[in-house]
Amino acid sequence: MTGRHHLFIPGPSALPDEVMRAMDRPTIDHRGPAFQALARDVQDGLRWIFGCAGPVVTYPASGSGAWEAALVNTLSPGDQVLMYESGQFASLWAEIAGRLSLKAEVLPGDWRRGAEAQRIEDRLRADPEHRIRAVCVVHNETSTGCTTDIPAIRAAIDAAGHPALLMVDTISSLGSIPYRADDWGVDVTVGGSQKGLMLPPGISFNALGPKALEAAKTATLPRSYWAWEPVIRLNADGFFPYTPATNTLFGLRAAIALMRAEGLEAIFARHDRLARATRAAATAWGLELQCAVPAEYSAALTALRVPEGASADRLRQVALASFDLSLGNGLGKLADRVFRIGHLGHLNDLSLISALAGVEMSLGLAGIAHQRGGVAAAMGVMAEAQRQGEPA
């Protein structure tokens, strides 16, 4: 097809031209002074994005690697971890914990809301011997479009008087939804490159608080490649203990520059507006949101349920074949029941309108019952935001 592909999955997200140009260069010596300056710039920018003063360990890996790193650096064989099943990615993190000889206790959820702070507090109060060593939650569950109130989780742990570490997955929220690791008392934050940071997949992060660094001194799970200590030690001089993803780090520096120019608050406001517009379209179409709690609606993506008997995958096939539009599929127990519209990263109002127009036309072509007017409803939200002076 002519024109650009319309990528509206919840990550990997579209790449800005500035990021692509920054990566389109010869690879440099990762032990030389030019790389040293690059690494220091990136580390400073990452601390700004995560909202932390401590180290941010960067791996040439997907987010799954950063999940594993968070666990193996802080825990020992047989340790118990409390995981909240808010969706597919929370479940996958729990599976990794189990494979690492940890006792992963999963609080079941209905995949229609984020982690519930009161349930976590109740479970921790029932653990007077403090066998639970860590609480792991997903900030923005990519499979459902639900967020979790992280300050409420921190308050629940504190109210229970429990010493468990708080680990948070921000892979699909970092750089799109407000997050402040230090202010919120998070001990380990997991992040990834391919969503709000507007980069290709391939690098991931652990942002570390003091309590996590202390736990790493006594943790005995085997770790070598994932070990924090050598990375932190060499990062102090701008280097890494392994060959880093050099060209992607050039792209990260360019992405950080774009984010600094826009400002985090403006970025968050833009994502919130695009999310509101998408939900307005869904309401006009008569489609139900997968997230059932309005206070927990995601600003990074929206998951929409198709009517009973309809196929979400068929809708996605029509959108791709007819309009070169990629939408996110349903994952796990939501397979073929939902489709997901990613509205995160490098996009603006008109970019999103193109995707919503493609969805509305595809609903008709796929024979899925709906009402028209979703695009008009979304445009109404955007126009009102302009009248109210929201940043573009």
CA 62 to chain centroid: 12
User: The sheet that has 165-169: what strands, in order across it?
Assistant: 56-59, 204-208, 188-192, 165-169, 132-138, 80-84, 103-107
Q: How many Å apart are CA 138 and CA 362, to the nearest integer? A: 31
- What SS3 state is found at 53? coil
- Which pLDDT belongs to residue 391? 76
Cβ-based burial of 243 (10 A; exposed 0-12, middle 13-18, buried ≥19): exposed
- Amino acid letter for position 327: L
- Nearest-10 Cα torsion for 275, 280, 281, 287: 100
Question: Can you read off the two tokens belonging to residue 223?
Answer: 């770790």
- Which pLDDT belongs to residue 338? 98
Q: How many CB atoms lie within 10 A of CB 224?
A: 7
* pLDDT above 90: residue 206: yes
- What SS3 state is found at 59? strand
* pLDDT above 90: residue 282: yes
Q: How many Å apart are CA 193 and CA 118, to the nearest integer? A: 32
Question: Can you read off the two tokens belonging to residue 275?
Answer: 């999310």
Domains and CATH numbers, the chain: 17-260 (3.40.640.10), 263-387 (3.90.1150.10)
pLDDT tens, residue by residue, 306-344: 999 999 999 999 999 999 999 999 999 999 999 999 999
Terminal-to-terminal C-alpha distance of the chain: 30
Between CA 277 and CA 268, with CA 87 as vertex, the angle to 5 degrees is: 35
> What value does the mean pLDDT of the chain take?
97
Cβ-based burial of 292 (10 A; exposed 0-12, middle 13-18, buried ≥19): middle
pLDDT above 90: percentage of residues in the chain: 99
Q: How many Å apart are CA 34 and CA 27, to the nearest integer? A: 11
pLDDT tens, residue by residue, 63-100: 999 999 999 999 999 999 999 999 999 999 999 999 99
CB 143 within 8 A of CB 334: yes
Cβ-based burial of 90 (10 A; exposed 0-12, middle 13-18, buried ≥19): buried
* pLDDT above 80: residue 392: no
pLDDT tens, residue by residue, 339-388: 999 999 999 999 999 999 999 999 999 999 999 999 999 999 999 999 99
